[in-house]
Structure 1
Amino acid sequence: MITQEKADWRIRLRAARLAAGAAAGEGRALAVAALAWLETFDAGHAPSAAGSGGAPAGGSVCAYISMGTEPPTEDLLGELAASGRTVYVPVCEAGHQLSWVRWIPGVEMARSMLAPVMEPVGPRLQFGSLGPVSAVFIPALAVDESGVRLGQGGGYYDRFLAATAHLRVAAVVHAHEVLPAGTLPHDPLDAPVTHALTAAGHRALGSASH
């Protein structure tokens, strides 16, 4: 039942994105919102990628390369790198797992052999070997105020989130895709995200909002 509910939601959300088209200036606004969010905790301490305690924030972040009707992340990636942060983006591996590759402007790209996405070419690293990561930006079709995220259905990020509950994770969506708590279907295996990022700004979700 939950699986069918999710499938129905994905159909509606994808159709809505296609009908809405791209908003002028959204990519730049996302970049500004992302930096503003990071600055709220840059002066403190960030959780370690390996979960081994705090370290100075702002050194590394994980993001992703947008495709199709997703909110555009090109400016976001560029601004993260320009701010002096080390930026990693995911690459798909067998078994619906993710590895991470360093992203810099102009990095060589190649189409994934496992998913319809473009990936940077470079050494593939396990998340736990990245060192301190202050925040992770991930794609979503929608998110609700309790932190429930609806992805594309591939399962890559579900597995990643299940192992990284200690991190700050922002789902990147269009502003109208942040929905009231309890709206989206979910099951016990769905790990919540802590924040939503839109062109309108950032907001804490679920327990992170208290």
Structure 2
Amino acid sequence: MTTRHRRGLLEVGEAGRAIAEHVLAAPEVRRAATLSAYVSVGTEPGTSLLLDGLVGLGKRVVLPVVLPDLDLDWAVYQGPTSLMPARMGLLEPAGPRLGVDSIGTADVLLIPGLAVSPTGDRMGRGGGCYDRALARVPVGTPVWVLVYDDELGREVPVEPHDRRVTGAVTPSGIHRLGG
């Protein structure tokens, strides 16, 4: 197993390209009008091709804006030039904020994670940002974490506030999770 901080730029880019291909071909994504996603940082699987591909399909893509209390607001992605530097080394959309509840209007959610269990328990970075946001998402909405293949099927610590994901997208494909 390769740890995240040891992944090279080539692996990050190749993983991002493969994940984008799987997501863009998924029936749930093809039917969706609005998707949530995020701008990858560091050695997360790259999301730039995915974001541009979604916009190229005519999808409305909303990206998170981290609030001071670590909750998430949302704004529409309008291309790479619409991003601005933010806290914690992140890039966020510069456009108007849509409100914390707007995440509930997304048809598919694509979220970051460090690992995911076979039942959909996701390990994030520990701030609880996404767990709060996922509490506002209607039951039945596809919520997919983007991870590397060796981060899928791992046992992760679970807290009472943690929200499960319904799938994981890795360079090898889309994996349905749960139960």
- What is the TM-score of this pair, normalised by structure 2? 0.89
Q: Which structure has the larger Rg?
A: 1
Structure 1 129/16 Cα, relative in aligned 2: closer, same or farther at 3 Å?
Answer: closer
Contact 2:104 2:138 in 1 (8 A): no
Q: Is residue 185 of structure 1 aligned with residue 157 of structure 2?
A: yes
Shift of residue 145, structure 1, vs aligned partner: 0.8
Contact 1:64 1:73 in 2 (8 A): yes
Post-superposition CA distance 1:126-157 (Å, at most 9, x none): 25346742100000001011100000112211
Post-superposition CA distance 1:46-87 (Å, at most 9, x none): xxxxxxxxxxx4211010000001000000101111011111
Task: State the alpha-carbon separation in 1 of the partners of residues 107 and 137 from structure 2.
Answer: 12
- What is the TM-score of this pair, normalised by structure 1? 0.76
Identical positions, percent? 35
Q: Is residue 156 of structure 1 aligned with residue 145 of structure 2?
A: no
Q: Which runs of 5+ in 1 are unaligned?
A: 1-12, 43-56
Structure 1 187/129 Cα, relative in aligned 2: closer, same or farther at 3 Å?
Answer: closer
Give the length in aligned residue pairs. 176
Q: What are the equivalent positions in structure 2 for 1:1-210 lying under 5 Å apart? A: 16-22=3-9, 23=11, 25-37=14-26, 39-40=27-28, 42=30, 57-113=31-87, 115-129=88-102, 132-164=105-137, 166=139, 167-180=141-154, 183-207=155-179
**More displaced stretch, 100-109 vs 193-202:** 100-109
Root-mean-square deviation (Å)? 2.1
Match of 1:52 in 2: none
Moved over 6 A (4+): none
